[in-house]
Amino acid sequence: MRHLLSIADVSKAEAISILDTANELARVSEGAVKKLPTLRGRTIVNLFAEDSTRTRISFEAAAKRLSADVINFSAKGSSVSKGESLKDTAMTLQAMGADAVVIRHSASGAAQRLADSQWMSGSVINAGDGTHEHPSQALLDAFTIRKHLSLGKSDLEGISVAIVGDVLHSRVARSNVLLLSKLGAKVTLVAPPTLLPVGVETWPCTVSYDLDAVVPFVDVVMMLRVQQERMTDFYFPNAREYSRYFGLNTDRMKVMKSGSIVMHPGPMNRGLEISAEVADSARSVITEQVTNGVSVRMAILYVLLTGGALEAGMN
Amino acid sequence: MSTVDLVIKGGQLSDGRKVDLCISGEKIVDVTEKFVGQATSTVDAQGCIILPGLVDLHTHLREPGREDAETVLSGSRAGAKGGFTALSAMANTSPVADTAGVVEQVYRLGQEAGLLDVFPIGAVTQGLKGQTLSEIGAMADSVAQVRVFSDDGNCVSDPLVMRRALEYIKKFGGVIAQHAQDPRMTVGSQMNEGAVSSRLGLKGWPAVAEEAIIARDVLLADHVQSRLHICHLTTAGGVEIIRWAKARGINVTAEVTPHHLLLTDDLASSYDPIYKVNPPLRTQRDVHALREALADGTIDIVATDHAPHPLEDKECEWQEAAFGMLGLETALSIVQKTMIDTSLMNWDQVAERMSHAPARIGGYIQQGQKIAVGSNANLTVINPTQSWRVDRDLVLSNSSNTPYHGHELPGVVLHTFYKGKQTLNNGAMTDKEKM
């Protein structure tokens, strides 16, 4: 693997190898000295052309724990019309000798454009592109699910996952549907019909409009953030009605299977798609997702920049 | 023995007849099995098809305003290279062609270039804003004698404005060429809405946004008994509506672009904006429907929607990029590839769809004439057995945004004659000295 642009490009074996590497690297994060010398002298640029605090600091922590030099480049709204073009930004980074670029961008496909162009030669890691994909989030979600529910198996065979909310605009949903189904999980999308894309019937998952019919039967309920601007574009009548039909509250949590978990990629709208009680409950693994995010992103950087996985026991 | 200016020897007309074709001045003076007289010059057309000069009803020449993308001269050269003897310059220039002054300027620039006829299209509404009719009458009465009106790039979406425009042009037998795109259903749209857009996370452009406007406008044209032309039809559903409207006797014509006859929306998977175009590339099912409709005459013509853009407007993120692709230099090859080499059409039908019919729709009486004695010598000679490789660095257009870079295409346009004058000789422009 040279780039991480879309889960579609990642094989099941490669995904498992990243999760296994993350497992090994997690032990580093648990130690007193949270640092490995692996990427010493390598430069990683965080190119964030869209606001994101958690993903940026997660990648930054991951790179620093591998001893890489990290440059944070915030270029909000990088486009031809609004200022410097993506091409000029890329050529600037190339001139600075970036070994890898972690890119967050509001345009779907921006990471692939960067990787396919001749503008720069380093690895490109998609940290979320528009409404397309967010592959590192899916990998950290798979890592978290595997840790809780796989009973020691390397894949997610037999595990059922509901992804609930604004699928239409969610890069997290797109990456997770691809990755979780690839790893053997059974994925069900739950959303109002307005927030499911035309064409969703071609995705490797099933679809439901009824959260109550799904919640009691799945091992994982993954809630998606509902953005404020969706309220004004006729996707649903109002926030209360959305919450009533598609919010995860204590009543719904009560009927969840024993041992099942609640996930959310953050940032949460408490009281809208998830109630505070659920977010802070024992089923919630939401803060653990953040912790795992660092290990998984370390693994991604490790695999892309050293060209190999970390075998168990190598450290 | 007679002496003629030029004889094109041994070519095959679209009906299959093998002829020697003689030109003197601006006219065809003889079409004969074997010419035995004297000719000042001779062009060998053995193995070639001779078509009436191609007429494009939909070209973006960008002048005035965006001369970095294309000028009337550079677009004329690209047209001649592609076998065209007439282009129709769309109104979305800067300033917009919504006054007699602008259309006369474009018309004059075409005359000065002198490589083909440039017929300006007038804007339906002032500034293409869809609110107030532009000076349609003044443009019709100008030197440019505009007959085709279009807000192309924008849809005339207000049904009342569309109704009035359709009525108003009846005064001089004009036609409204509608860019069918419901603006509310396509805010921020990037590509065809379907399986591919769902996967790529690019905002969908539903087929119904095109079809709803077509349905509305054929009914309006019927109601006010006027003439409607639908630009760049792209969907199977749109084809069905046009077929229904024609069966009902509604005065509607339709065009399809070469790229919608060949390319599909899965090309967006590369996120390379070279494939970003308005209306968007659709599915294989739509491509099949468009080809069938062109063959059976439901779709009347092929029009290029040649849309040049400078490099920086395509070398960027998909959603930031401009819509459009070049078309003039590749149009006939794409039509051969999709319609002739698939046995869906013969060359007679190509002559009809790319010359006679567009000239008729546009009211271009000097163009699209049958190849016969006394007709204007506007001719295109294509060798259908040769092929060529498209190279974006070698196009004559000022822009290089062709989606066919590196493609091997059938059919080489060897010669183009405009009013008896050879503008393209053996694939090379004859006006080099001017450049």
Question: Is residue B354 located within the same domain as residue B416?
Answer: no
Residue A80 pLDDT exceeds 60: no
Using one digit for the tens of pLDDT, what is the confidence trace for B26-53?
999 999 999 999 999 999 999 999 999 9
Q: Is B346 helix (H, G, I), strand (E, B) or coil?
A: coil
- In this complex, the residue of B195, B203, B320 whose CB is nearest that of residue A80 is B320
Q: Which residues of A touch B315 (CB under 8 A)?
A: 85, 87, 117
Distance CA B160, CA B155 (A): 13
Mean pLDDT of B59-65: 98
Whether B403 is in a domain gets the answer: no
Q: Given this model, what pLDDT does residue A233 score?
A: 84
CATH number of A7-134+290-306: 3.40.50.1370
Q: What angle do CA A38, A39, A40 make, to 5 degrees?
A: 100
Question: Is residue B25 located within the same domain as residue B130?
Answer: no
Catalytic annotation, residues of B: 305
Residue A83 pLDDT exceeds 70: no
Binary contact (A197, B272; C-beta < 8 A) = no
Residue B22's H or E segment, with its range, is strand B18-24
CA distance A5 to chain B (A): 12
Question: Is residue B15 located within the same domain as residue B60?
Answer: no
Residue A253's H or E segment, with its range, is helix A250-254
Binary contact (A199, B318; C-beta < 8 A) = no
With cut-offs at 50, 70 and 90, classify the pLDDT of residue B1.
low
Whether B41 is in a domain gets the answer: yes
CA distance B240 to chain A (A): 22
Whether B399 is in a domain gets the answer: no
Q: Given this model, what pLDDT does residue B432 score?
A: 67
Q: How many helices (H) and strands (E) does chain B have?
A: 12, 19
Mean pLDDT of B356-360: 98
Contact B226, B238 (CB under 8 A): no
Whether B391 is in a domain gets the answer: no
Whether B306 is in a domain gets the answer: yes
| Residue whose C-alpha is closest to residue B298's, from B340, B257, B358, B238 | B238
Residue B433 pLDDT exceeds 70: no
Q: Is the bond preceding A197 in cis, omega lying within 30 degrees of 0?
A: no
- In this complex, the residue of A109, A174, A199 whose CB is nearest that of residue B318 is A109
Q: Given this model, what pLDDT does residue A315 score?
A: 45
Binary contact (A198, B201; C-beta < 8 A) = no
Q: Given this model, what pLDDT does residue A76 score?
A: 62
CA distance B321 to chain A (A): 9
Using one digit for the tens of pLDDT, what is the confidence trace for A165-211?
999 999 999 999 999 999 999 999 999 999 999 999 999 999 999 99
Using one digit for the tens of pLDDT, what is the confidence trace for A205-244?
999 999 999 999 999 999 999 987 777 788 999 999 999 9
Q: How many helices (H) and strands (E) does chain A have?
A: 11, 9
With cut-offs at 50, 70 and 90, classify the pLDDT of residue B156.
very high
Binary contact (B313, A80; C-beta < 8 A) = yes
Predicted TM-score (pTM) of the model is: 0.95
Q: Given this model, what pLDDT does residue A27 score?
A: 86
Q: Which residue of B has its CA nearest to A128?
A: B201
Query: Please, which residues have CB within 8 angstroms of residue B415's CB and are 6 or more apart in sequence?
Result: B8, B43, B45, B379, B380, B381, B422, B424, B425, B426
Q: Given this model, what pLDDT does residue A82 score?
A: 56
Q: Which long-range contacts (CB under 8 A, 24 or more apart) does A253-258 make?
A: A253/A277, A253/A278, A253/A281, A253/A283, A255/A215, A255/A216, A256/A215, A256/A216, A256/A218, A256/A221, A256/A283, A257/A216, A257/A217, A257/A218, A257/A219
- In this complex, the residue of B193, B196, B200 whose CB is nearest that of residue A109 is B200
Whether B402 is in a domain gets the answer: no
Q: Which residues of B touch A112 (CB under 8 A)?
A: 270-271
Q: Residue B164, class by beta-carbon neighbours within 10 Å (0-12 exposed, 13-18 middle, 19+ buried)?
A: middle
Are β-strands B204-205 and A206-208 bridged in parallel, bridged antiparallel, or unpaired?
A: unpaired
Mean pLDDT of B245-274: 98
Number of domains in chain B: 2
Q: Is B118 helix (H, G, I), strand (E, B) or coil?
A: strand
CA distance B379 to chain A (A): 42
Residue B39's H or E segment, with its range, is strand B38-44
Using one digit for the tens of pLDDT, what is the confidence trace for A117-127?
889 899 999 99
Question: Residue A207's CB: how many other CB atoms inside 10 A?
Answer: 15
Question: Is residue B290 located within the same domain as residue B422?
Answer: no
Distance CA A87, CA A67 (A): 28
| Residue whose C-alpha is closest to residue A39's, from A311, A292, A293, A297 | A297
Mutant choice from A108, A120, A126, A170 vs B, greatest count of B C-beta within 10 A: A108
Question: Is residue B12 located within the same domain as residue B89?
Answer: no
* Domain of B318, in residue numbers: 53-362
Question: Is residue B416 located within the same domain as residue B331?
Answer: no
Phi, psi of B388 (to 5 degrees): -150, 160
- In this complex, the residue of B200, B313, B320 whose CB is nearest that of residue A132 is B200
| SS3 readout for B281-343 | CCCHHHHHHHHHHHHHCCCCEECCCECCCCHHHCCCCHHHCCCCECCCCCHHHHHHHHHHCCC
What tokens were used for A102? 């972690």
- In this complex, the residue of A80, A130, A197 whose CB is nearest that of residue B316 is A80
Mean pLDDT of A148-156: 95
Chain B positions touching chain A (beta carbons under 8 Å)? 190, 193-204, 206, 270-272, 312-313, 315-320
Binary contact (B316, A86; C-beta < 8 A) = yes
Domain boundaries along the sequence of chain A = 7-134+290-306, 135-285
Question: What is the topology classification, in CATH, of domain A135-285?
Answer: Rossmann fold (3.40.50)
Domain at B32, CATH number: 2.30.40.10
How much of chain A, in percent, has pLDDT values that exceed 90?
80
Using one digit for the tens of pLDDT, what is the confidence trace for B383-407?
999 999 999 999 999 999 999 999 9
With cut-offs at 50, 70 and 90, classify the pLDDT of residue A36.
very high
Residue A135 pLDDT exceeds 90: yes
Question: Is residue B130 located within the same domain as residue B23?
Answer: no
Give the CA count within 13 Å in the CB-facing half-sphere of A217: 10
Question: Is residue B39 located within the same domain as residue B170?
Answer: no
Residue A151 pLDDT exceeds 60: yes
Question: Is residue B356 located within the same domain as residue B379?
Answer: no
With cut-offs at 50, 70 and 90, classify the pLDDT of residue A78.
very low
Whether B396 is in a domain gets the answer: no
Binary contact (A107, B204; C-beta < 8 A) = no
With cut-offs at 50, 70 and 90, classify the pLDDT of residue A37.
very high
Q: Which residues of B touch A113 (CB under 8 A)?
A: 271-272, 316-318
Whether B398 is in a domain gets the answer: no
Question: Residue B26's CB: how many other CB atoms inside 10 A?
Answer: 16
Q: Residue B25, class by beta-carbon neighbours within 10 Å (0-12 exposed, 13-18 middle, 19+ buried)?
A: exposed
Q: Given this model, what pLDDT does residue A73 score?
A: 85
Domain at B57, CATH number: 3.20.20.140
CA distance A7 to chain B (A): 11
Q: Given this model, what pLDDT does residue A312 score?
A: 58
